[in-house]
Chain A
Amino acid sequence: MRGVYAVALLSFKEGLRHRVLYGVLLAALLLMGCTVLVSGFFLRDISKVILDFCMATVTLGGLTIPFFLAIHLLAKDIERRTIFTLLTRPISRGQYLIGKFFGLFLITGLIMLLLTGGVWLCLWGGEFLFGSRFFVTVSWVSIVAALFLSWLSVLILNAFVVLWSTVTTSSFLATLLTLFSYVIGHSIDDVVRFLQVEVTMIKISDSIRMTVDVVKYLFPNLAAFDLKSAAAHGLSIPFTDVLILTTYATAYIVVLLVLSTLFFNRRDLA
């Protein structure tokens, strides 16, 4: 456990040292600021527009971690062989991977938390500029729930980065595979729903149906974690839904990390 904690803390500190992180934060906050001004071009749904853009920015800020920082912290660690300096200490390969994941867990959480503060500032600014009558539907419980679920979906992607970094030999390939996982994760549910609708004019082969049936269990249903639109409209997000998604994400992350450890233990790093 101490090994995991040490690697996690080290990764967190190493992540914070990257200037790109501050650039992303600044850019995201600037984008949010512009959102307040742009929302003035809309007719009535001003709070919805501000929340749509701001929550999308929080998610984008979070996504920079698996697509840029995580690759740098993990895949390049393996690619450039800097991993050896850590593995010479009494830390197992499994502890190293889990520690790296928790480091990313903390960085993602911090970035998204800071950007959530930006959402609060934007709503406050919008209310100040346009009046409180446009902000009566705002529900902070829904906003926090939606952003928490968004954080969970980013964590799943972080776990994917860990997995792809252990099975591939190049950081570029790991990024590409993570990107594919993200796109498939967001589309697979729609494909499943499409196949469930019996369209008489279109004949779908059994092999396609079978492939989709397998893929829907292999890849996470990331689209289910997207409740930003409901939160933007001030609709409540049922607690049971949050609980189901949290359990699903936790189980999925554990599966990915265990798989990663298995692959990594057998990998020849030399």
Chain B
Amino acid sequence: MKKTGLSIVILVGCFSIVVWLNAAVHDVRSKQISAEMSDIGRVPASVLVASSLEFKGAMANMMFLNASNFIGRKLMEQSKTLPEEWHQFYLLLDRITTLDGSFLDPYVFAEMMLAWQAQMYDEANMLLEKGIKARPDDWRLPYYIGFNHFFFKKDFVQGANYIKQAAAIDGSPPYFPNLASRLAFYGSRSKTALLFLEEMLVQNKQIKMSSELEKRLVALQGAAQLEDAAFLFMQQQGRKATSIDELVQNGFVESIPTEPYGGQWRLHPNGRVDSSSNFITVEK
């Protein structure tokens, strides 16, 4: 009985120590996680590939979990991520995608974190380019790069090119051709947008000419016609036209083209023509 009593006392005592030390052990582990993140980022890709033997996929998964933990920890602690940490994070994603190039999650993570949070657009795009090579049938990757060019880098033409690339991949959303033309339009090149949409319709016979696309095509044709007229006006008159009406009065266009969205055409000093509707149907 005495022995049993002593055993119970020891058991309770030791378990109390375990409970008491729990938080301290957690802190020790936190330091380890932080160190792990940096260390893995610094390991050369070739060494990682060689040391993973036949477990590259599982290794990539574990490293991705490590990257998720790092971001999760930052979000929980609400602490600012330093540029050096973002660089390590980029290296980690780069290593993961070297181990398993077809793994989609690191690319999605690169877009979510590197582009949106860290403003590391070039690094995000580099990883996504790597993904395009490994997953040529995935429309999401060129779409993300297109979006980065359009939204973050204000490079509308490049953006439209990537969206065009995404739209050409089977399974991409049917509104992509329309979106690409819209991006190109905002890139001050109505003609490019028009050509892109026409080419897309010819190349992708499976795209049904919906009324929305038809409307977009008519609008782009109108904008391109007016831009061409404004360009001709400047060449012949030696000065820029001040309004759409001036182009009509001087005979550069026979009549003002229809704006199918219900807005008013606007001629900008740089020769670009857009509409007050922004190509969104105006509710009357």
Contact = CB atoms under 8 A, between A and B. Distances in A.
Interface of A: 38, 41-45, 48-49, 51-53, 55-56, 59, 150, 153, 182-183, 186-187, 190, 222-223, 225-226, 228-229, 232-233, 235
Contact of B54 (A38, A45, A226): A226
Given A41-B65, A44-B108, 12 more contacts: A42-B64, A42-B105, A44-B105, A51-B57, A52-B58, A52-B100, A53-B61, A56-B58, A186-B53, A187-B50, A190-B49, A229-B56
- What are the 3 A-B residue pairs with the smallest beta carbon separation, nearest first? A52-B57, A226-B54, A56-B58
Contacts of B103: 45, 48
A229 B100 contact: yes
Max chain A Cβ within 10 angstroms of own Cβ: one of B60, B61, B65, B109: B61
A229 B102 contact: yes
A45 B104 CA distance: 6
Nearest to B58: A56
A43 B57 contact: no
> What range describes how many residues of B lie at the interface?
20 to 34
A56 B56 CA distance: 9
Interface in B77-111: 100, 102-105, 108-109
A145 to B, nearest CB: 15
A24 to B, nearest CB: 17
Contacts of B242: none
Nearest to B109: A43
Max chain A Cβ within 10 angstroms of own Cβ: one of B60, B65, B102, B108: B102
Contacts of B105: 42-45
Interface in B183-213: none
B57 to A, nearest CB: 4
A186 B54 contact: yes
Given A42-B105, A43-B108, A233-B102, A52 B53 contact: no
